[in-house]
C-alpha cells in the first residue's frame, strides 16, 4: 500500500479542487486572504466576498493603503469582524516591516495579527512550498477518523495528538498538493455527515471506516446551554435619514456601524431625549429577530422612531438614507433591518402611535 501522503496527493491531482479563485496562481496575498475568510465560513459563502474584495484591493499595497472603514464595509455580512481588522493591520505591518513583500515562512506568517498556527502553515505550504502541517476543522476530522483518535478536538490534549499525527504524515515533496488534498478530503469526501468512504483514497487503513465509527468520530463538542441576551435596537429617522453609531473597536461588532441600543424595558422616547437630545414624535415596534454568536444568542427588539427635525451633530454618529447605509460596514442583523427599512413605504401610518 502506498504511503498515506502519496495517496492523498494522487487523489487531489485527479479529483481535488483546482478552480477556486485563489488557486489561479500561488500569490501569497490571495492565499492568505482566502485562508482568513475561510475561518469559520464555508467556501460557497467566501467565493463572492473574495472576488469583490480582490477587485477592490487587488494586492497588499492596496489593502495597506485602505481605510479600516472601507475594509469593514466589504467584509460586512461575512461575520467575525476581527478577521477584517486583523487583516488590515497585518497588511500595514507587512508594508512597514517587509517592504510590501509577503513573509515566506510559517513562523513569520504566524506572527501576523489574526494568523494562527494552521493558517500560517497553509499559506507557507500553498504559496511557498514549505513543509509544515495544517490542522483546520476539515483536517481534524480526516485525521481523527483515519487514526481513530477519540475525544473532542477542541480539547488541548486531543488537539496536541492530532498535531503530532499531522506532522508524522507529511511528505518530503508535493507539499502544496498534499496540503490542498487534506483540505479537499475533509470538504468533499470526509464530510461531517454522510461521508463518501468508498471514494476516499485512504479508506483501506482508516480506523473509523474499519470499526464502523465514521459517524461518531471526531467526538462532538460537549453540549452546553448558550446564554441569552436581549437588546432593543432603535431605528431613528429624521427626514428620511437613519442614525448610525460607530461601535468601539473592541468587543462584538467592533468598529462597525450599528444602531443605537437600549435595554428592552426602556421608554424609547425618554431614552432618545436623554441620550441624544432628540425628540421622537412617533414610534412603531418591528418584528423581533435573533442572531447567534459563538458564545451567546442575541434577541433583538427593533423599534422604529420618527424624530422631530433637528440639525444637531452627534460625535461618532452619522445620518444616512437607509439605501445609502447599506454601503456601510453593518453587522448582519442590522443590515437586515436597514434593508427592510429601505424597501418599506410608507414608513409610518397616517396616525402615529404616540
Last residue of a domain, one of 181, 211, 241: 211
Tens digits of per-residue pLDDT, 37-46?
999 899 999 9
Any catalytic annotation for residue 35? yes
Residue 29 lies in a domain: yes
Query: Which residue is listed with cell 422612531?
Result: 305
User: With 70 as the cut, is the pLDDT of residue 347 above it?
Assistant: no
pLDDT at position 272: 93
Domain boundary among 147, 179, 211: 211
181-224 tens-digit pLDDT: 999 999 999 999 999 999 999 999 999 999 999 999 999 998 88
Q: Cα separation of 303 and 263, whole Å?
A: 12
The CATH number of the domain holding residue 181 is 1.10.340.30
172 pLDDT more than 80: yes
Among the options 35, 51, 159, 241, which is catalytic?
35
* Per-residue pLDDT tens over the stretch 109-147: 999 999 999 999 999 999 999 999 999 999 999 999 999
Among 272, 243, 262, CA closest to 341: 243
pTM here is: 0.84
Q: Where among 154, 179, 211 does a domain terminate?
A: 211
Q: How many domains does the chain have?
A: 2
By residue range, what is the domain housing residue 37? Answer: 4-211
pLDDT at site 250: 85
DSSP state of 23: G
Q: Which of 113, 154, 155 is nearest to 136 (CA)?
A: 154
Distances (CA, A) of 197 to 9, 120, 154, 190, 210: 17, 29, 24, 7, 11
pLDDT of residue 349: 42
In this structure, the answer to whether residues 25 and 140 fall within a common structural domain is yes
Q: What is the 3-state secondary structure (H, E, C) of 164-215?
A: HHHHHCCCCCCHHHHHHHHHHHHHHHCCCCCCCHHHCCCHHHCHHHHHCCCC
The three three-digit cell numbers of residue 233, written as one number: 435596537
In angstroms, rounded to a whole number, what is the distance separating the alpha carbons of residues 128 and 176?
Answer: 8
The tens digit of pLDDT for each residue in 268-279 reads: 999 999 999 999
Amino acid at each position: 500500500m502506498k504511503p498515506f501522503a502519496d495517496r492523498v496527493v494522487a487523489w487531489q491531482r485527479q479529483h481535488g479542487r483546482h478552480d477556486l479563485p485563489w488557486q489561479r496562481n500561488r500569490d501569497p496575498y490571495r492565499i492568505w486572504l482566502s485562508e482568513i475568510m475561510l475561518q469559520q465560513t464555508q467556501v460557497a459563502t467566501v467565493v463572492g466576498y473574495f472576488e469583490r474584495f480582490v477587485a477592490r484591493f487587488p494586492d497588499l499595497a492596496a489593502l495597506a493603503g485602505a481605510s479600516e472603514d472601507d475594509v469593514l464595509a466589504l467584509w460586512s455580512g461575512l461575520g467575525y469582524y476581527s478577521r477584517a481588522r486583523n487583516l488590515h493591520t497585518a497588511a500595514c505591518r507587512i508594508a512597514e516591516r517587509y517592504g510590501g513583500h509577503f513573509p515566506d515562512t510559517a513562523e513569520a506568517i504566524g506572527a501576523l495579527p489574526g494568523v494562527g498556527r494552521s493558517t500560517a502553515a497553509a499559506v507557507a505550504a500553498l504559496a511557498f512550498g514549505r513543509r509544515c502541517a495544517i490542522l483546520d476543522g476539515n483536517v481534524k476530522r480526516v485525521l481523527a477518523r483515519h487514526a481513530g483518535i477519540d475525544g473532542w478536538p477542541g480539547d488541548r490534549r486531543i488537539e496536541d495528538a492530532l498535531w503530532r499525527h499531522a506532522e508524522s504524515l507529511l511528505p518530503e515533496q508535493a507539499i502544496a498538493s498534499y496540503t490542498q488534498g487534506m483540505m479537499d478530503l475533509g470538504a468533499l469526501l470526509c464530510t461531517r455527515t454522510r461521508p463518501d468512504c468508498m471514494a476516499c483514497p485512504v479508506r483501506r487503513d482508516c480506523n473509523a471506516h474499519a470499526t464502523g465509527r465514521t459517524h461518531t468520530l471526531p467526538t462532538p463538542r460537549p453540549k452546553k446551554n448558550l446564554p441569552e441576551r436581549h437588546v432593543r435596537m432603535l431605528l431613528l429617522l429624521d427626514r428620511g435619514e437613519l442614525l448610525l453609531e460607530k461601535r468601539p473597536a473592541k468587543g462584538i461588532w467592533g468598529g462597525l456601524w450599528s444602531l443605537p441600543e437600549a435595554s428592552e424595558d426602556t421608554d424609547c422616547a425618554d431614552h432618545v431625549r436623554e441620550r441624544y437630545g432628540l425628540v421622537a414624535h412617533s414610534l412603531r415596534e418591528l418584528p423581533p429577530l435573533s442572531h447567534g454568536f459563538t458564545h451567546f444568542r442575541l434577541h433583538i427588539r427593533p423599534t422604529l422612531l420618527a424624530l422631530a427635525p433637528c440639525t444637531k451633530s452627534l460625535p461618532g454618529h452619522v445620518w444616512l438614507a437607509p439605501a445609502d447605509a447599506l454601503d456601510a460596514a453593518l453587522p448582519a442583523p442590522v443590515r437586515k433591518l436597514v434593508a427592510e427599512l429601505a424597501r418599506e413605504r410608507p414608513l409610518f401610518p397616517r396616525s402615529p402611535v404616540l
